[in-house]
Structure 1
Amino acid sequence: MRVAVTGASGFVGGAIATALADDGHRVVGYGRRAGGWSHPSATYRVWDLARGPLREPDRVDAVVHAAGLTDVWAGFERALLANRDGTRSVVRTFPNKRIVHVSTSAVYDDAGPSVHVAEDARLPERHLSPYGATKALAEGELSGRDVAILRPHLVYGPGERAMVRGLLAAVRGGRLLLPAGGEVPHALTHIDNLVAAVRSAVIPFGPKGVFNVTDAAPVLLSDAIGELLERRGVEARIVGVPTPAAFRAAHAVERAARIARTRPPLTRFMVNRLGYERTYNLTAAREQLTYRPRATSFDGAEAW
């Protein structure tokens, strides 16, 4: 099968493109920067989706749309251009093709927890970040099409660097401050589980709809972070901060950052994502995609 993968120069898109090429599919990976991804049996092309559709698209049978802007401090207009308008470019470039859209659990987020949320849950009218808001709008661009929308939560695994770097940088004086001390359940998503869901969904005329995609069962966030730090050889004691207090502190940090025109080390979105339960119903993926996720695992994290 001929498959286009957007965002191939990134962590998620690159892992998906590599896995599909390894499976024997004829993959064309797209990314914004030259030399962003390579595979012996695949093709890579530069494409900035925010600039509009491709004039001469490759012939493909299906598209995995993994490109997007995840920077929660990017501003609404920039996020809108990358996420909603980028998705619009994909639809216009590859009309009438099967699309697997990699979305995010952030589309569910408002100011409270997400507890065993199913895909038919009503999305909030107001999101805490441009990321969640514009990814929800991107999903709207796919309405009525042959599409499977995947919503993972906190994707991690080999090749992920931004989240690990941020976590390590947050350790100060042997302590790591976390909202609620990380004593909240989270259903994380290992990149291998996300790739498995894509493999099941990418088949033309496969199951349509929206699917939560996470590891097999939730874990305590404090346990997950503690294991990751231990595997990286970092000694740190997790110190709990009440989530409301952390939220107020983040608000103040954001205001100061806007005045100074700098990037804040802490945001309300970060506190909201980490300080409350984030668990999701996997029934739809299990039944329609025959999704069989593995348990949360940090094997090999020493090298991430």
Structure 2
Amino acid sequence: MRIAVTGASGFIGGAIATALADDGHRVVGYGRRPVGWSHPSGTYRVWDLARGPLREPDRVDAVVHCAGLSDPWAGFERALLANRGGTRSVVRTFPGRRIVHVSTSAVYDAASASVQVAEDARMPERHLSAYAATKALAEAELGGRDAVILRPHLVYGPGDPALLRRLLAGIRGGRLLLPAAAEVPHALTHIDNLVDAVRRAAIPFGPRGTFNVTDASPVLLSDAIGELLERRRVEARIVGIPTPAALRIAHALERTARLTGTRPVLTRDTVSRLGYERTFDLAAAREHLDYRPRETSFEGAEHW
């Protein structure tokens, strides 16, 4: 097939574009960066989706939409333009084409634990971040179309510098302070599992709908973080702070940041997502996409 991948200059989009090209598909990768994704069987084009549709789009059979603004502290208007506006640009550029929209578990209610949440869970009236709110609005742009919406949680794997960088930034004096000491179940999403879900979803006129996408089984977040740090030979001990206390601290930091025009070192959205259980029902993906994910693995993390 001929497949377009937006956000190809980023971690998730780049991994998906490469995997699809390796499968033998003709891939056009789109990104905002002048120099981005490359592959012998692919083409890279610069496209800032926030600026609107392409005037001369490539002819494709399907689109995998990965582009978006994930900054939890981004202003609402900026996030809206990138996430909902970017999705509108994709829909208008490729009318009638199969769209696989890589969304996020952040659209679910972050104010309490997510325990085996299914896709039909009631959406919160108010999200804790503009990112979550605008990703939910972006999903609404795909109603009635030949589309699949995938909701992964905490995507990790080779090529992702962000997870380790965030962890290292939080280490002080050999201690890593985390809500609830990260002793909470989380269903992470290895990039290979997400790629597999995309492969199964990209078939034109195949099953439509919204699907949770994670690894096969939840793990304790503390175990996952500990293994990752150990494999990277980083010595740090996880120290816990009660999640309610961490939320109060984050709220105070957010208020100060708004007054001073700075960026908070911690947000309520981040605390809530780490300090409560985040597990998701995979029954729909297993049944309709024949999704068969592998277990969480940090094999090879020494070289990420």
TM-score (norm 2): 0.99
Identity of aligned residues (%): 81
Q: Deviations over 1:81-102 (max 9, x none)?
A: 0000000000000001000000
Q: Deviations over 1:144-183 (max 9, x none)?
A: 0000100000000001111210111101101111101111
Q: Residue type matched to 2:153 in 1?
A: H
Structure 2 contact 99–147 (Cα < 8 Å) conserved: yes
Say which is worse superposed, 246-255 or 192-201, in terms of deviation.
246-255
Structure 1 contact 118–280 (Cα < 8 Å) conserved: yes
Q: Residue type matched to 2:231 in 1?
A: R
Q: Distance in 2 between matches of 1:34 and 1:25?
A: 23
Shift, 1:260, TM fit: 2.7
Structure 2 contact 157–191 (Cα < 8 Å) conserved: yes
Structure 2 contact 110–273 (Cα < 8 Å) conserved: no
The residue number in structure 2 matching 1:69 is 69
Structure 1 contact 117–281 (Cα < 8 Å) conserved: yes
Q: Residue type matched to 2:59 in 1?
A: R
1:43-192 equivalences in 2 (<5 Å) = 43-192=43-192
Q: Distance in 1 between matches of 2:5 and 2:16?
A: 8
1:1-304 equivalences in 2 (<5 Å) = 1-304=1-304
The runs of 4+ residues in structure 1 deviating greater than 4 Å are: none
Q: Residue type matched to 1:14 in 2?
A: G
Shift, 1:254, TM fit: 1.4
Q: Provide the secondary structure at the position in 2 that maps to 1:212.
A: strand
Q: Deviations over 1:110-146 (max 9, x none)?
A: 3111110000111111000011100000000000000
Q: Distance in 1 between matches of 2:274 and 2:161?
A: 18
Structure 1 gaps, min length 5: none
Number of residues of Structure 1 aligned to a counterpart in Structure 2: 304
Q: Distance in 2 between matches of 1:161 and 1:184?
A: 23
Structure 1 contact 98–147 (Cα < 8 Å) conserved: yes
Q: Distance in 1 between matches of 2:132 and 2:186?
A: 18
Q: Deviations over 1:20-68 (max 9, x none)?
A: 0000001000000111110011000000000000000000000000000
Structure 2 gaps, min length 5: none
Q: Distance in 2 between matches of 1:258 and 1:158?
A: 35
What's the RMSD between the two structures over aligned residues? 0.7
Structure 1 contact 110–126 (Cα < 8 Å) conserved: no
Shift, 1:257, TM fit: 2.0
Q: Residue type matched to 2:149 in 1?
A: I
Q: Distance in 2 between matches of 1:131 and 1:162?
A: 17
